[in-house]
């Protein structure tokens, strides 16, 4: 039976929500829609009364592909919605902060993507999974990815023919680097001599910078260098990297501004040096990261660069063993860039240590707001928040913020 619903708001995943609650993807607040209700989902959805913020999706793959959630909304709507997500998360903790204008990365700027590839009877099928589906949608005209990544999809297909299984899906992570295409594959056949030889030959034939297979480097023709400030770094295969260079630069500018004037900085969850190395142009940096392969890459990048101040590295699980309050002595500023879970244990130690300035970079407004509450209760002022949208047309929201110890407390 067909039913009608009015969308009251968007949830954190970008779905429209109507009374019930009923979750209806690709709708906007105020729209009247109809369809068949199955549990809490509306199937065969039709928009009866569209929002004035509804636009034609720019990408022809949007209906089938699960890579984007919000191409049906105007850029202005998406920008306002993402800023409001952060504001609402802070409000839920009783906090307010000056919100800077959102920075949005341009389309076709993703320098890294994981492509799903399945072998078929006729060859291969490569692209993104459909929404909540095992179906793979081909994406030759994707509006998210850098054109160089689109051009690399046939390489992913060739690798699947060599080492993929008809029973599973290969996950092929394509990353652009200064040395060329850096590829990390997971889910393939176990390595043996013939497969390793075939993959090494493919690396040469396809002109790849580096190829790794389930974490093992098969071949490296050119160093897959990523540039952080003036330093060149070779991250380990599959290591974390900001999705767009534009977004990385926006976050880096915010971190540098937040820590301006600091002479000694500790960078927590430092990765391969995204912020540590630009910071080292003006300050001594102690970089702490849980993955030793990343700290080694960071250290090598620093040693090969010229004109940087001293950088020391420490491999340490900050969830199990956060820096204790007395370890922050002598540091003028702290940079914090945790994963989605936030940094609850580490922030508790920061609240006791009370360094003068904290620059917090977050990919989860909810855990950021939770940690912000701890810092504000300890005497910090949340001076500003900068929302950065480098996952364009998705529900994913990132931010950078500056906390300053309030001397009046």
Q: What is the pLDDT of residues 168-216, one digit of tens each?
A: 899 999 999 999 999 999 999 999 999 999 999 999 999 999 999 999 9
Q: Angle between the 147-163 and 193-206 helix axes, to the nearest 10 degrees? A: 160
Q: Are strands 264-268 and 231-233 parallel, antiparallel or unpaired?
A: unpaired
Q: What was the pLDDT predicted at 43?
A: 84
Q: What was the pLDDT predicted at 42?
A: 87
Q: What was the pLDDT predicted at 360?
A: 98
CB 395 within 8 A of CB 12: yes
> Confidence band (pLDDT; 50, 70, 90) for 407?
low
Q: 238 vs 28, 79, 173, 174, CA distance in Å? A: 36, 30, 7, 9
Strand ranges inside 274-330, DSSP E: 284-289, 311-315
What share of the chain in percent tops pLDDT 90? 91
- 409 pLDDT more than 80: no
Quote the Cα angle for 300-302-304, to 5°.
70
Q: What was the pLDDT predicted at 20?
A: 86
- Distance from C-alpha of 38 to C-alpha of 1, rounded to nearest angstrom: 10
**Tokens for 172?**
């092929």
- Distance from C-alpha of 97 to C-alpha of 403, rounded to nearest angstrom: 10
Q: 80 vs 75, 309, 314, 384, CA distance in Å? A: 9, 40, 39, 17
- Distance from C-alpha of 269 to C-alpha of 286, rounded to nearest angstrom: 11
**Tokens for 64?**
């089938």
> Confidence band (pLDDT; 50, 70, 90) for 375?
very high
* Residue whose pair of structure tokens reads 């240590």 in the numeric block: 353
- Distance from C-alpha of 19 to C-alpha of 14, rounded to nearest angstrom: 16
- 154 pLDDT more than 70: yes
User: Coil, strand or helix: which one is 158?
Assistant: helix
Q: Which ranges in 18-146 belong to alpha helices (H)?
A: 75-92
In the DSSP assignment, the letter for residue 325 is G
Catalytic residue numbers, as ranges: 363
**274-285: burial string, b at 16+ Cβ within 10 Å, e else:** bbbbbbbebbbb
Q: 329 vs 267, 325, 352, 355, 380, CA distance in Å? A: 14, 8, 11, 8, 17
| Average confidence (pLDDT) over 346-361 | 97
Instruction: Of 48-52, 130-134, 200-204, give the lowest mean pLDDT range.
Output: 130-134
Q: What is the pLDDT of residues 22-46, one digit of tens each?
A: 999 999 999 999 999 988 888 889 9
Would you give the distance in Å from CA 152 to the centre of its chain?
A: 21
Kindly report the average pLDDT of the chain as a whole number: 95
Q: 23 vs 110, 132, 163, CA distance in Å? A: 29, 14, 39
> Confidence band (pLDDT; 50, 70, 90) for 408?
low
> Confidence band (pLDDT; 50, 70, 90) for 133?
confident
Residues in the chain: 409
Q: What was the pLDDT predicted at 173?
A: 97
CB 335 within 8 A of CB 266: yes
* Residue whose pair of structure tokens reads 């459909």 in the numeric block: 130
Quick one: 272 exposed, middle or buried, by C-beta within 10 A (0-12, 13-18, 19+)?
buried
In the DSSP assignment, the letter for residue 203 is H
End-to-end CA distance of the chain: 61
Q: What was the pLDDT predicted at 1?
A: 82
Q: What was the pLDDT predicted at 72?
A: 97
**Tokens for 51?**
């929002």
| Average confidence (pLDDT) over 213-234 | 97
Q: What is the pLDDT of residues 237-282, one digit of tens each?
A: 989 999 999 999 999 999 999 999 999 999 999 999 999 999 999 9
Of the candidates 105, 345, 119, the one whose C-alpha atom is nearest the C-alpha of residue 249 is: 105
**Tokens for 186?**
């997971």
- Distance from C-alpha of 313 to C-alpha of 270, rounded to nearest angstrom: 9
Alpha carbons within 13 angstroms on the beta-carbon side of residue 57 total 22
């Amino acid at each position: 039976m067909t039913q009608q619903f009015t969308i009251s708001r968007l949830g954190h995943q970008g779905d429209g929500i109507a009374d019930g609650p009923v979750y209806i993807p690709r709708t906007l607040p105020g729209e009247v829609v109809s369809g068949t209700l199955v549990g809490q989902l509306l199937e065969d959805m039709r928009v009866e009364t569209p929002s004035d913020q509804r636009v034609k999706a720019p990408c022809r793959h949007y209906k089938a592909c699960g890579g984007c959630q919000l191409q049906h909304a105007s850029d202005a709507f998406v920008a306002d919605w993402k800023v409001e997500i952060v504001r609402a998360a802070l409000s839920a903790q009783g906090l307010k902060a000056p919100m800077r204008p959102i920075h949005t990365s341009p389309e076709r700027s993703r320098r890294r993507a994981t492509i799903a590839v399945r072998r078929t009877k006729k060859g291969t099928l490569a692209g993104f999974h459909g929404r909540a589906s095992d179906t793979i949608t081909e994406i030759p005209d994707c509006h998210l990815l850098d054109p160089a990544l689109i051009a690399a999809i046939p390489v992913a297909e060739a690798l699947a023919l060599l080492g993929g299984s008809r029973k599973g899906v290969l996950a092929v992570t394509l990353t652009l680097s200064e040395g060329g295409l850096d590829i990390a594959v997971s889910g393939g056949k176990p390595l043996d001599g013939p497969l390793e030889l075939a993959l090494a030959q493919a690396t040469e034939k396809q002109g790849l910078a580096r190829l790794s297979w389930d974490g093992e480097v098969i071949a490296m023709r050119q160093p897959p260098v990523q540039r952080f400030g003036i330093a060149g770094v070779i991250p380990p295969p599959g290591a974390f990297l900001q999705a767009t260079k534009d977004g990385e630069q926006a976050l880096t500018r915010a971190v540098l501004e937040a820590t301006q004037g600091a002479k000694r900085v500790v960078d927590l969850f430092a990765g391969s040096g995204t912020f540590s190395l630009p910071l080292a142009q003006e300050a001594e940096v102690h970089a702490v990261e849980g993955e030793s392969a990343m700290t080694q890459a960071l250290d090598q990048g620093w040693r090969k660069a010229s004109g940087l101040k001293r950088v020391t590295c420490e491999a340490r699980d900050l969830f199990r063993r956060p820096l204790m309050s007395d370890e922050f002595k002598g540091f003028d500023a702290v940079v914090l860039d945790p994963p989605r879970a936030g940094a609850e244990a580490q922030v508790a130690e920061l609240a006791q240590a009370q360094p003068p300035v904290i620059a917090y970079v977050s990919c989860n407004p909810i855990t950021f707001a939770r940690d912000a509450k701890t810092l504000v209760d300890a005497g910090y002022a949340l001076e500003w928040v900068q929302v950065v949208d480098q996952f364009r047309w998705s529900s994913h929201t990132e931010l950078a913020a500056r906390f300053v110890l309030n001397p009046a407390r």
